[in-house]
Each structure stands twice: as structure tokens, then as C-alpha cells.
Amino acid sequence: MSSTQLGRAALARVPARARPDVDPGALRPRILHLGLGAFHRAHQAPVTQRAVAAAGGDWGIAGVAPHSAATVEGLRAQDHLYSLTEHDAAGSATTVVGAVVEALRLRPDAARVAALLADPDVAVVTLTVTEKGYRRGSGGGPDITDPDVAADLAGLVPPRTPIGALASGLAARMRGHGAPVTVLSCDNMAGNGVATEAAVRGFVAASDWPDRDRVLAALDSAVRFPSSVVDRIVPATTEGDRVAAARALGVGDVVPVAGERYLQWVVERSFAGPRPPWERAGVELVDDVAPYALTKLRLLNGSHSALAYLGLAAGAETVADAVATGWGAPLVRALAAEVAPSLPTGGPAPAAYAEALVGRFANPRLHHRLAQIGSDGSQKIAERWFPVLRAGAGGPVLHLALAGWVHATRPGTPVADPLADALAACHDPADPTGTVARLLDAAGAPDLAADGDLVAAVAARLPALGAGRVEL
């Protein structure tokens, strides 16, 4: 490898302040991470590195990318080193992260993934596979109508889904030495630990393994599924990020990540076996993550989605653009006021939290595209908006936000969604209330679809949005 490209040999050319504060060569794969995207590399990886720098240990990460070959190839070409640029109002700082020690793909590297899940030294499995990555059916178990899930349940190799690989790997571990392991979901879902446990157990229960009851009993005693809340805004990496990283490092980096400096990680104190000393790196270990999780999902992610759909309707491109409009910052504040009654006590104060969000969203150094946040809306709003409406806390702001989503699901719109075709088929310009009801039903909310007042309130907002006007 050329010394003009990031890698261990090139570290001496990187400014000393930007080098990893751990020796990457002293780390071993002890965490298996499913979902090796930009978010993980900007969040759990540097936090784990900071914990090791503070307290010692050999906690390295083997990361599995369900889809992206480019990330895996780029990391391998750079001895798994990559840079993280953190932006805040005062400026930007770039450092090399050395916590990832192996990069794998789910299918081509299935045998290695299985070996790591069976390795007693691997004591933690973390996940960022996105809401849709869990392939949940209506009961929380696997969606057996999904062909990939069906293939995994039939035992076809290699596994096609992260949960299929995880459940099969954990079962093999339980059949062998049975060493304890913590499975820690870091996805934006309320009760993400409970959801992950239900997905894994549901998979085992739906299998035709003759020993499935024994596997389930072993999972009960040897595996913990804590819930957690992760927070850091990490837009998709751009060419501009690559140029800026190379300038800061003095060597090229094909897989840099960039995000805001702000970071939060709250983890339920429930582990099986050893774990990294994350609290030494600022991680909050708590008995109940729900107040933090619901505040973050409903205020941050909830207003992100609202800004995305309304901003796209108004012709904005990024979150910072949307916040800079006359309605952007007031929308974030008004949504917080509307949602607040649905939040449990014990979390951050909603008004102050919203004020901080306005500042974070306005960060001019983050080029966070609204289309990125708007993607997978059918999965995201089910976590961010529907529970608020069901709790009776919905009002004009959520009605407007929902109208934005309806507008963004029209046939021919470029916002990605696993249900895009089904959503587009719900649209009938001659029947706006029917359109709204069909869309809510398709997104898994037949109860909300049957709420005539809600449907009418959302439909009433569509004409102005169709003309590009956001009227808060």
C-alpha cells in the first residue's frame, strides 16, 4: 500500500494529534458488530476506543456490513483504519479510529461471522442494522413472508439476514461451550433490546431445529439483550468529507466518516459476561432507558422526519436549510410541545431538549440531506410518530408532518422506502382522505387509519403542501 494512503505504515505521516490513542495492533475481535455503516464508525467504535484508552483492555471490533462491499474493501485496504471528523460551532477536528480490527460482509464472509459468534472471546454483539433490518413480523418475531427470512429459516447458507445469522450463530454457541454474551441493539427503536430478543427468540422458535427448546432455554440463561439509546448526527459521507479528511491527515482516506461532535449513548445495565468499560468513555449505564429513548425518538428523530418531508415539499435540500426557513425552528419547538405529554417522566426536559436540537440541526458544517432522513419512512414514523398519536398527544404539528410523509410517498417521488410501491399504490388524487387512510394502513397502523378525524386533519393539509407551502 502506498504511504500516501491511510494504513498502519502511514500513521507516522499523520499529525500526532490525529493518531489513534490506542495501539490498533493490541486489539482483538471481542465485539462483533452487525451493520458496519457510517453511524457505527462514528459512534460505538470511537467510544469503545476511548474506553480502552482510559481503562486498558483489548476490545477490538469485527464489523459486518450487510450490503456495502466498498466499506469493507476500503477498510481492509487501510488496515481497518479510518478517520472521524467531528464538527461543532467552533470548528472541526479529524482523528484516526483504530478500534475496528476486522471488516466482513454478511454473505461472502458467513463462515467467519459464524466463527466469531462461536468464539468465547467475543463477549458482545452490537447492532445497527436499521429498523427494517430486523425484518419483524406483526408479532415481533421474524416476518416469515419475507423470502430472505424464509431462506434463513430453511437453513440455506449463507444466511441472508442479520437476525438469521445472529440467531443461528447464537444457537451454535449455545450448543457448544455456551459462553455468555451480550447482544446490544443500537437502532432507533423503542425497547430495541426487547425487540432484538423477540426477533432472535422468534427465529429460533420458528425454526425446525429439533433442539430449539433447549436452545431457547440456553439463550435465557446465557444471553442478555439490553436496550440502549444512541445519538449522534452522522450524515452519509460525501466527496467533500474525503477531501477534507485527506487535507487534515496528510494521507488519503477512502472510508472517512464525519458527524457532529455531540454524542450520547445510554445503555441498560444488563450484561452477560465481560464488556468494555464504556462508562469510562462517558456512556451512561442506567436501569431503564425508556425515558431517554422515547425523548430521543419522539423529539429528535420525530422532528428530523418532520423536517425531512416538509422540507422536501418546500424544495429544501438539507436539515440546516430546513431549519433556516421561517417554519423550521418553530416546527421543532412546536412538535416538542405537542409530543411532551406522551413522554414518561425521568428524561430530559422537552423544551430545553428542543432548543438544543435547533442548535444541532442548524450546524452549517453538517450537510445532512433530507432525502437520507426521509428514506424508509414507513419504518421510521412507526417508531417516531404513531405511538404519540396513539397516546392521544397528536395535534396540528403531527398532522402537518404526516401530510408531509403522504406527499413524499406519491408515485414517482425519489424517497426510498422498502414499501415504496405499495405506498405509491395508495394514492388517488381524487380521494385524499382515502389516500391517507390507505397509507396509514399500509404502514402498519390500521387503528390510526380508522380514526376519521385524524385522517381528515391530515388530508386538509395536503393542498398547501402540494403547492410547496409549509403552513405551521
Question: Which residues of the chain form contacts with ligand CS2 (CB under 6 A)?
Answer: 188, 231-233, 300-301, 304, 372-373, 380
**Quick one: 7 or 302, whose CB is closer to ligand CS2?**
302
Distance CA(273)–CA(253), nearest Å, equals 36
Q: Rounded to an integer, what distance in angstroms lies between the CA atom of residue 33 and that of residue 44?
A: 9
CA–CA separation, 238 and 245 (whole Å)? 11
Residue (301 or 435) nearer to ligand CS2, CB: 301
User: Residue 102 CB, nearest distance to ligand CS2 (Å)?
Assistant: 25
Cβ closest to ligand CS2, residue 264 vs residue 342: 264
Which residue's CB is nearer to ligand CS2, number 43 or number 399?
A: 43
CA distances from 107 to 77, 161, 165, 201, 266 (A): 20, 9, 9, 22, 31
Half-sphere exposure of 223 (CA within 13 A, CB side): 30
- Least Å distance between CB 440 and ligand CS2? 19
Which residue's CB is nearer to ligand CS2, number 88 or number 451? 88
Nearest to 392 by CA among 440, 451, 461: 451
Give the gyration radius of the chain's Cα atoms. Answer: 22
Eight-class DSSP state of 189: S
Q: Cβ 64 to ligand CS2, closest distance in Å?
A: 20
The answer to whether the CB of 103 falls within 8 A of the CB of 80 is: yes
Q: What is the DSSP string of 225-282?
A: ---EEEE---PPP-HHHHHHHHHHHSSB-SS-EEEES--EEEEES--SS----GGGGT
Q: Look at the block and give the residue holding cell 412546536.
A: 334
In the complex, minimum distance from the CB of residue 108 to ligand CS2, in angstroms, rounded to a whole number: 27
In the complex, least distance from residue 195 CB atom to ligand CS2, rounded to whole angstroms: 16
Shortest separation between residue 233's beta carbon and ligand CS2, angstroms:
4
Choice between 369 and 438, CB closer to ligand CS2:
369
Q: Annotate 62-89 with DSSP letters as a single string.
A: EEEESS-HHHHHHHHHTTT-EEEEEEET
Between helix 396-408 and helix 377-384 the angle, nearest 10°, is: 170
Q: Which one, of 352, 227, 366, 258, lies nearest residue 299 by Cα?
A: 352
Cβ 265 to ligand CS2, closest distance in Å? 10
Q: What whole-number distance in Å separates Cα of residue 378 and Cα of residue 416?
A: 10
Q: What angle do CA 357, 361, 366 make, to 5 degrees?
A: 145
Minimum CB distance to ligand CS2, residue 311 (Å):
13
Q: Which is nearer to ligand CS2, 209 or 292 (CB)?
A: 292
Helix, strand, or coil (residue 17):
helix
In angstroms, what is the minimal distance from the CB of 140 to ligand CS2? 22
Widest CA span in the chain: 66
Using the minimum distance from each CB to ligand CS2, give the nearer residue, 60 or 259: 259
Using CA atoms in the order 428, 430, 436, 441, what is the torsion angle rounded to 10 degrees? Answer: -50
* Of residues 325 and 372, the one with the C-beta less far from ligand CS2: 372
The side-by-side arrangement of strands in the sheet containing 257-260 is: 91-97, 82-88, 257-260
Indicate the residue among 303 and 435 with the shorter CB distance to ligand CS2: 303
Is the Cβ of residue 34 or residue 300 nearer to ligand CS2 in the bound state? 300
Q: Least distance from C-beta 374 to ligand CS2, angstroms?
A: 8
Cell of 188: 432507533
Q: Which of 268, 277, 273 is nearest to 192 (CA)?
A: 268
CB of 100 to ligand CS2, least distance (A): 20
* Rounded alpha-carbon distances, angstroms, from residue 404 to 150, 233, 397: 35, 22, 11
CB-wise, 136 or 232, nearer to ligand CS2? 232
Residue nearest to ligand CS2 (CB): 304
Output the smallest distance, CB 232 to ligand CS2, in A. 5
